[in-house]
Amino acid sequence: MRRGRGERLTKSASPGAYNRSMRIVWVDVCFAVNFAADYLLCLLAARLCSVPLARGRYALAALFGAFWAVAAAARGALFRAPGGKLLAAAALCLIAYGGRREFARLCAAFLALGAALGGGLWALTLCSDGAALPPAALGAAFLLFWALAGLYLRGCAAARERETASVELVFLGRSARFRALVDTGNTLCDPISGAHVMVVAPSALRGVFADQAALFSLEEPLDILSCADAQEALRGKLRLVPYAAVGARGFLVAFRPERLLVDERERCDLLVALSPSALGEGFEAIL
């Protein structure tokens, strides 16, 4: 029997047995659908938990999930067994979110979103009298799921739009206190360490950089970094973090504080970047 573009698999009268005469599973369609679904779920779970996005890791996780789905369609019971599915989900989450302090929360969000998406697709299948959904219908379902999840996330963001937190920062042996806007849409992170970046207005750190105030009157981040390396107190303590906004790209000068408290809770996973645009009504930083 020629496989052509896909693997022909059919359920026979005996449970778990397969022949090659009725149901066709196209390998390329199976791979593409599962890759799209897994990537979508990884991305939505990260957005739901408000963590910096790692799209490359999500793509690798989605590749793993797609290969597992193809193996389940081609090889049968071992990959489709409940234990096999749990193992695949655990491995996928580990690839996508391993090493993050929010790992358990991300896994829970991924599984919950997966259950919602799977339940929706199952309901559509029942509406079509059990017939397999065509790729166009699956694509439309994915887009609808993305739109509904986006509406929910925007609603959550709007509810927290004006939420602020008190911040105490210690650097160079000096401290500063200010308020930060809690922005769930802030996905700025350090590409080297993966640490989330809090953007702070220079005016909030006058006490910290009292002896280096003139340094931050420079406009170019590279000039600031060069001048900082010439000062013993700042040598090797500043770095550049790339950012991208609507219509703008560039670098921000950032540093790792010696101590950082957010609402009296110590945070060791944050870098601090300087930008005048972080100043707003009632806050001097964006978290």
Q: Higher-confidence residue: 5 or 255?
A: 255
Q: What is the pLDDT at residue 142? A: 65
- Residues 255-282, buried b or exposed e (16+ Cβ, 10 A)? bbbeebbbeeeeeeebbbbbbeebbeee
| Topology of domain 164-286, CATH | Cathepsin D, subunit A; domain 1 (2.40.70)
Domain definitions of the chain by residue range:
7-159, 164-286
Convert 70-89 to b/e letters by CB count within 10 Å (16 or more is b).
bebbeeeeebeeeeeeeebb
Residue 43's contacts (CB-CB under 8 Å, 6 or more residues apart) are: 53, 55, 58
Of 156 and 88, the one with more pLDDT: 88
Residue 236 banded pLDDT, cuts 50, 70, 90:
confident
Token pair of 265 as six digits: 């809770």
Residue 19 confidence (pLDDT) above 50 = no
pLDDT in tens, 54-93: 888 888 988 888 888 887 777 666 666 777 778 888 888 8
- pTM exceeding 0.85: no
Mean pLDDT of the chain: 76
Token match 């199952």: residue? 122
**H or E element at residue 190:** none
Query: Which tops the pLDDT comparison, 227 or 95?
Result: 95
Q: In which band, very low, low, confident or very high, does the pLDDT at 271 lie, cut at 50, 70 and 90?
A: very high
Which has the closest alpha carbon to 178: 151, 198, 150? 198
Of 145, 151, 132, residue with least CA distance to 24: 132
